[in-house]
Chains A and B, each alone.
Chain A
Amino acid sequence: MKDSRRIVLLSFLGLSLYLSGIISFYYYPENAHQTYLSENALMPGSARVTFDYQDFNKIQEFSHTFSKLIWRLNHNSTLDKSKRSIIASEWIQKSLNEIGIESFIHKYPITYRNNNSSNSNNNNGNNIYSVLRAPHSDGTESIILSGSFNSSNSKLLEDEEISSVGLLMSIMRHLYQKGRNWLAKDIVLLISDTCSQSDTDSSSHGIRAWIDDYHDSTLLSSFQRNYFPRAGQIQAAINIDVDKKYSPEKIFILPEGSNGQLPNLDLINTIGRLAKRESVSDKISLSLDDPSLHFIPNNLRTLAKFMLNQASGVPTGDHGMFNSYHIDSVTVAISNTPKSALIVSRLLVGTVRSLNNLLERLHQSFYYYLLPSPFHYVSIGEYMISLGLIISPLVIRVLYLLFTLSSTFKSPTIFNKKSSSSLSTSSTSIPQEKKRGIQKLIVLLTGGEMKSDDSPRDILYSFSIVCLFQLIGILAFSLPLTFSQSTQYLLNYLSNIGTLSLFILFTLLYLGIFLIILPIIDRLFYPNALKATSEQSLVLKYKGGSSFFVFSNLPILIFLSTMSLLNFSFCTFASIFSIPLCTFSFYQTNIISTIDHNGNSTSSSTLQQQQQQQKSSISNSNLNRVKRLILNVIYILLSPPGVIVYMSHFVFKQDCFAFISTIIQQYHHYSNLMYPFLTLIYLPLSLSILKSINNSTTFSLKQKNQ
């Protein structure tokens, strides 16, 4: 059969493209360009950073007094969590006011945006924020320095150790004293207390609450009636994270924001340049390296980590909250050792100064890049190629079928020989170059003539089936979001039963679809399909495939190719995972259906066909029933429940229901693509794949009954 042969060729081509796409990532690190500063106004390091040991001692002083305070608070049993946090915040506020910077406490309800909150305690969290008014400015632009502390973490700092609060406060103090000559933008310090937040989401709540209130139309903060001053348009934000978990000899720049959104590359460049100036550029690192991956070369590892962080869509620091308000933001993370503290504070002051030089907001440099190292980047023009390569097998296949489908309808003519002539004349009508190009493609794909075997009825049938599956997907997507509370309850309930219940749920769904709904639709479209005599049924089994394949794969194709603009890494990983399934499934369906054609023909009651093909058909049908069984097993293992279980157990190390609720919550907070992909795209896809495999299974089973 020439059709199958063509398909083999195509799938071979597709496979090679797919593999080359994956391999191409290996070559990015060494071919990456050097980063360069395209916004000239930044002028990093043009002025000497005056942050000296006196300020450094202040860091020590602040952090130790503060940690002592918290220690005392935590060992005072009379105080509950909220009280502690209030006292701690008031201490910071007071000491900032003493320095001379007007500072305020922003209270917000802790059940903030926490749509599926099992703990509905409405004690409130506190942000301390203070505005350092630049003397010479008119207060229309500002830069944010943000950090966080945990008022209920009771352990005392050892001497020499420092905390982010101390770091930030001393930086502010320095800016207030030395900066009055050059500050042209207000500096906003934002410290949020992470004490009373659930572990699933980090301190981001406080910062998110603050930034939302900042852009809200009320003077008083929406939750508590205290004065909420603004500082104009926030242009950039730097978040500082001081923690033991970071390695002491490195300084981490963590750019990945919510849903993998990245800050302007100039922001990272500025810090990098300053680091070079401070001659600590070798310390700069982009991701926490874990020893398990050390066999991979360094740059490639960094790239991989970068892409993984981006794909997860969860910000690597609190800076991720600022993305949604078009504020370029980055997290600078260090360990709590004094040495790195001094360097980082010098870096930060320098960065603030060069951001302060900006005339316009950052717009010059790239927003779409991959970083194999802090000083090298891969631009969108390059990495998009490999995504294109990866999804190309599917694209080729779908295009091929689309063109064949387009020839389903022919313009009616009386004399048949005229019809062909009319067609060929049509090809000379205007979008000349377009058509000829397309035709070349067609010729390449299909070898001259394009003939589709799908009748309009088939097309309509497969279209409606795909619509049904998509509808299921949409329901699966929207219901948990609309009824979040009950979903939470349900998930908790199920998690008590155990992982098995998930499978039961899905098996019920599948059985419902495949044994009840689909037969009904079949009956609708092919009224005489049950009586296996007519050509219609054969058409359904044999030829329904191609158009069905097109329609069932359009959604994922569209999703991958469009969403890759928003979150490239996620789409890359998703396509690496799901493209083989799609193409493979198509290949399979064709093989099966060809065999099945013979198998069916036993059913057809006409004598000569029976005589011709009895033996072969039986053997074939047995063989391919086994084959089909294996396939079903594979695809069911790869279907959403399976995927969820693997990810929850091996990647996220938690119960699968907790995992589900987590991704829903993450979708709420960071609008990352995991949840939409699983529900809107992957569930329908797996359903349609299963259907396309089992197209004929149902039928042949009927055989046995007869």
Chain B
Amino acid sequence: MNSTQKKQTSSSTTTTATATNKCDSTFKTFIFISLSALLLRFVLFYQGFHFHFSNRNEITTPLTNFKRLTEGLHLWDLGLSPYSGSAYHQSPLVLLLFYPFHSNNLSTSLTGLPPQVVFLVVDILIAYLLREITKLIPQVLPKEMKPLEPNSNLPNITAALYLFNPFSIFTCIGMSTIVINNAAIILSLYYSLKGNLFQSVFFVALSSYFSIYPIILLFPVSFILKRHYFPEQTLNTATRQQLSPQQQSHLEKQLQHSQTTMSILFYSRIVLFYLLSFSSLIYLSYTLLGSWEFLSKTYGFTLFVEDLTPNIGLFWYYFIEVFDHFRNFFLFIFQYHVFIYCIPLAIRLKNHPLFYFWALCAIIATFKSYPALGDTALHVSLLPLLNEPLKGVRYSFIVIVVAIYVTVLAPILWQMWIYQGTGNANFYYTINLVFTLAQVLLIVDSLSVLLKLDYVNKINHLEENQEKKKIE
């Protein structure tokens, strides 16, 4: 409780006793939400849904499957390399994380707890972070969100939308280790909003250590951090008026002078931190296993798509069907394709780092080599943060309906192909296409809307000024 009070005092500059009380009330509602979410998940676990969900290949991929993780732990127990036998492909630290919860047929786990606990905790953590993020955004990025009145429900709504989003529920019940990756990403966003450079960069490194792709999140994170380290840039008229003119001119000079050198220093610092933490993580896992085998088994496995198990992405069927001698070429193209967007987006969206962050998450979720619903859940749960700019998205309902259809239809088509043998692979592949198209539609549409909004606002601003001039 008092921890939240701290958060309040730290975050919101205008906190009075009443305000804290109010936010306590919102915190109570948050506790209620999270408890109910926990209850729901607990019931689902108790009913044994995780046996079904953890085998669904829309929910878990070769990189996040819990059964494979168990296999890795088991082999580790036996003294073999966890990567021997191409079952386990996750990072060594995941192994370390779940080792205390591993129980085989003769001994119970070290902690005596079932591994489900981890997933519950992580989900709640993510929800809490999202809540805090929603509180932070208006202060750091006023463009993205209007400052919310002290007892607004938006933070709780964001948390609830994550906790009760079917995709995230599936992912949690399916015990897909992607949630850990998601938690790292959310943490990096959180810390970057709080302005802690090292933590945020570290968590970017951590997430990119779990799955390569989030490395491109370094850009938006650094943009957000820049807001903290160069507050002068975000000087708005309000603060201007408080300062006396000579102070202003002095400030301006300082800005002009320090701008370039400062930013160079800043970016180099971020890169340095990133490299430092990433390499330390790699070395840690090397010391854990005592061999560099894991590099090829995790990152190699991700980049050269070795496992063609179907998922909701486009890679598997393509690389089942593609001709051998073009395989490497297309591998390069497809993997490269994920990364190419970060630079142009950075140029176009430098004023909207949060949206930039979201867009990159969405692109990763759509075009990574082993996507699952967990990735989608991440960027969907970020959407409410952007509700202000994205009001005008036209096909939101269409996208939602398509998503529902896919989630219903995919298991049926899978059943028809794999179990009844009455369908074939094309059925399932079609659904993947549709799902990808829906996500593409979402990304493209929201991006265009945002840019348009930017433009409209600019025009409005100009006209405002003109009218002001007229008035004067």
Contacts and interface: CB of A to CB of B under 8 A. Distances in A.
B398 interface: yes
B416 A566 contact: yes
A418 B396 CA distance: 22
B132 to A, nearest CB: 25
Interface size class of A (residues with CB under 8 A): 35 or more
Nearest to B450: A411
Contact of A414 (B412, B452, B460): B460
B398 A402 contact: yes
B157 to A, nearest CB: 11
B166 to A, nearest CB: 12
A323 interface: yes
Interface in A555-577: 558, 561-563, 565-566
Contacts of A438: 395
Contacts of A415: 460, 463
A326 B452 contact: no
Given A261-B422, A431-B444, A423 B392 contact: yes
Contact of B448 (A412, A429, A558): A429
Contact of A402 (B393, B401, B423): B401
Contacts of B409: 562
Nearest to A401: B397
Contact of A562 (B394, B405, B455, B456): B405
A405 interface: yes
Interface in B441-472: 441, 444-445, 448-449, 452-453, 455-457, 459-460, 463-464
A558 B405 contact: yes
A565 B441 contact: no
Contact of B459 (A324, A326, A418): A418
Interface in B200-223: none
A323 B420 contact: yes
Given A406-B394, A558-B408, A422 B456 contact: yes
A33 interface: no
B433 interface: no
A184 B70 CA distance: 42
A566 B444 contact: no
A326 to B, nearest CB: 4
Nearest to B418: A326
Contacts of B413: 565
A324 B452 CA distance: 54
A422 B395 contact: no
B463 A406 contact: no
Which residue, of B395, B404, B412, B463, has the highest number of chain A Cβ atoms within 10 A?
B395
A684 B183 CA distance: 37
Contacts of A261: 420, 422
A648 to B, nearest CB: 29
A367 interface: yes
A355 to B, nearest CB: 16
Contacts, number: 93
Contacts of A423: 392
A5 interface: no
A414 B467 CA distance: 13
Nearest to A425: B452
Interface string A666-689: 000000000000000000000000
B405 to A, nearest CB: 6
A326 B421 contact: yes
Nearest to A478: B47
Contacts of A2: none
A469 interface: no
Interface in B3-55: none
Contact of A558 (B397, B404, B463): B404
A75 interface: no
A554 to B, nearest CB: 7
B323 interface: no
B419 to A, nearest CB: 7
A53 interface: no
B392 A367 contact: no
A407 interface: yes
Given A261-B420, A367-B422, A402-B401, A429 B445 contact: yes
A430 B443 CA distance: 11
Which residue, of A368, A406, A411, has the highest number of chain B Cβ atoms within 10 A?
A411
A351 to B, nearest CB: 20
Contact of B396 (A363, A406, A414): A406
Nearest to A450: B394
A34 interface: no
Nearest to B461: A414
B394 A418 contact: no
B337 interface: no
Contact of A409 (B391, B423, B460): B391
Interface of B: 388-389, 391-398, 401, 404-405, 408-409, 412-413, 415-416, 419-423, 440-441, 444-445, 448-449, 452-453, 455-457, 459-460, 463-464
Closest 7 CB pairs of A and B: A411-B392, A429-B448, A367-B422, A414-B460, A326-B421, A409-B391, A422-B456
Interface of A: 261-262, 323-324, 326, 363, 367-368, 402, 405-407, 409-415, 418-419, 422-423, 425-426, 429-431, 434, 438, 554, 558, 561-563, 565-566
16 contacts: A261-B420, A324-B419, A326-B421, A402-B397, A402-B401, A407-B394, A411-B449, A414-B464, A415-B463, A429-B448, A430-B444, A431-B445, A562-B405, A562-B409, A562-B412, A563-B412
Given A412-B391, A418-B459, A563-B412, 16 more contacts: A262-B422, A326-B419, A402-B398, A406-B394, A406-B398, A409-B391, A410-B391, A415-B460, A419-B456, A423-B392, A426-B452, A430-B448, A431-B441, A431-B445, A561-B405, A565-B413
